[in-house]
Amino acid sequence: MKLSSRTEYAVRAMAELAEMHGGDPVPLRGIAERQDIPEKYLEQLFRQLRKAGLIRGVRGAQGGYSLTREPRDVTVGDIMRAVDGPIAVCSCAAEGEGDDECERKSHCAAHPVWARLQSGIVSILDSTTLYDMLAETPAHDIQGNRGGGS
Amino acid sequence: MKLSSRTEYAVRAMAELAEMHGGDPVPLRGIAERQDIPEKYLEQLFRQLRKAGLIRGVRGAQGGYSLTREPRDVTVGDIMRAVDGPIAVCSCAAEGEGDDECERKSHCAAHPVWARLQSGIVSILDSTTLYDMLAETPAHDIQGNRGGGS
DNA sequence: GGATATCATACTGATTCAGTCGGAATTACC
DNA sequence: GGTAATTCCGACTGAATCAGTATGATATCC
């Protein structure tokens, strides 16, 4: 029941990209330094985020990374799935399909609990966007993204 | 974000003890066989459950394990904490105390999400009891619970 | 006393995880 | 065109955690 460091790092880094959204691409090195994440490791994560279509990389000098979508359209669940694969509290209650392994044991008393846990987790992760994250972080009143929440 | 096998095993085994609650102590071996759990491994888990005060062991022939409390007074969270320690999605959002490590980084955009996730998980785990588990398992209209048996 | 159990500790093998290395390809700027 | 900046890529490694085993001691019923 613990988050991987991949997820922790990726979410923090994505939050920073969201902050800078709309401006120039942000070089990975700076993100790694500010967030205190090993640079090469973050590079690996960014590759996965890119393959998942969440970010775009611009090569060469003055290059860097930027979001492909609006911060309000990227959820924490999206990020987690990109770097850690499908969310699954156990093989019995994976998202996607094919829980054939446990289906036959339909008399398993634990199954309903895990299913409830799984859907609770997924619903929290999928209902929080990068925009939400920035909005609830006090230290950030970002230029550009104001507008009236409430 | 995955359950340990300790938790999966322990919860299944405890559900079986709950089923037999009120009768004779149940030997570990039978539980292990019926639930398809390595016996010696389960023994290890039962020791932790015992130290946590959730079950009682009766030694010797005709011995076995039984619940110390009513099934309605034992939650899945209790079981999980007994075998896996405190529930914590990350060091920033552990239950108990001392999150000094991340407290200084109070500008961390991810923190509120993890806190929400943590409390969502805990609330599901702590609101489901063994009694609930049996009640929602269709295949069980248990015969064992009316005393006589043998 | 012997069979049946729980109780206790220590060990091991495998898998996963976090992080690293070395280098190739691309682009801005001079 | 050269150089520095920067993304892109695959493979590798060391460490930690996890799942499961081995061995034996202690208690209790018959």
Q: What is the pLDDT of residues A112-133, one digit of tens each?
A: 999 999 999 999 999 999 999 9
Contacts of A134 in chain B (CB under 8 A): 109
In the chain, the amino acid numbered B109 is A
β-pairing, A55-58 with B64-67? Answer: unpaired
Percent of chain B's residues with pLDDT above 90: 78
Residue A61 contacts B where some CB pair is shorter than 8 Å: no
Q: How far apart are CA B82 and CA A124, in angstroms?
A: 26
Half-sphere exposure of B16 (CA within 13 A, CB side): 23
Q: Does residue A121 belong to the interface with chain B, where contact is any CB pair within 8 Å?
A: yes
Q: Is residue A34 part of a domain?
A: yes
- Residue range B43-65, pLDDT digits in tens: 999 999 999 999 999 999 999 99
CATH number where A25 lies: 1.10.10.10
Q: Which residue from A88, A116, A136 is facing B124, i.e. has the nearest CB?
A: A116
Does residue A15 sit at the B interface (CB-CB below 8 Å)? yes
Is strand C in 7 Å reach of the CB of A4? Answer: yes
Chain A's closest residue to B105, CA to CA, is A35
Q: Is B76 on the interface with A (CB under 8 A)?
A: yes
pLDDT at residue B58, rounded to an integer: 98
Whether residue B75 lies inside any domain: the answer is yes
- On whether residue B62 sits in a domain, the answer given is yes
Whole-number Å distance between alpha carbons of A145 and B10: 48
User: Residue B148: what pLDDT?
Assistant: 36
- Percentage of chain A beyond pLDDT 70 is 85
Gap between the Cα atoms of B52 and B17, Å rounded: 16
Cβ contact B12–A110 (<8 Å): yes
* B112 inside domain: no
Lowest mean pLDDT among A17-26, A130-139, B127-136: A130-139
B121 touches A: beta carbon within 8 Å: yes
Domain membership of residue A38 as a residue range: 5-85+129-135
Cβ contacts (< 8 Å) between A90 and chain B: which residues?
A: 2-3, 8
The pLDDT confidence band at residue B144, using thresholds 50, 70 and 90, is very low
**What's the pLDDT tens digit per position in A40-56?**
999 999 999 999 999 99
Longest dimension (CA), chain A: 60
Cβ separation A113–B90 shorter than 8 A: no
**pTM of this structure:** 0.90
Distance CA(A122)–CA(A132), nearest Å, equals 16
Q: Mind giving me the DSSP string for B92-149? A: GGBSSS--HHHHT-TT-TTHHHHHHHHHHHHHHHHH-BHHHHHHT-TT---STTSS--
**Among A24-28, A104-108, B3-7, the least confident range:** A104-108
Query: How near does any CA of chain B get to the CA of A29, in Å?
Result: 19
Within-domain flag for A120: no
CA–C1' nearest nucleotide, residue B31: C5
* Number of structural domains in chain A: 1
* Contact criterion met (CB below 8 Å) for A12 and A42: no
For residue A10, give both structure tokens: 């990726």
Output A96 or A5, whichever has higher pLDDT: A5
Is B106 inside a domain boundary?
no
Q: Give domain status of residue B65, yes or no.
A: yes
List residues bridging with A57 in a β-sheet. A65
Q: What is the mean pLDDT of residues A105-117?
A: 88
Residues 51-110 of B with CB under 7 A from strand C: 57-65
In a domain, A146, yes or no: no
Name the minimum distance, in Å, from the CA of B137 to any CA of chain A: 6
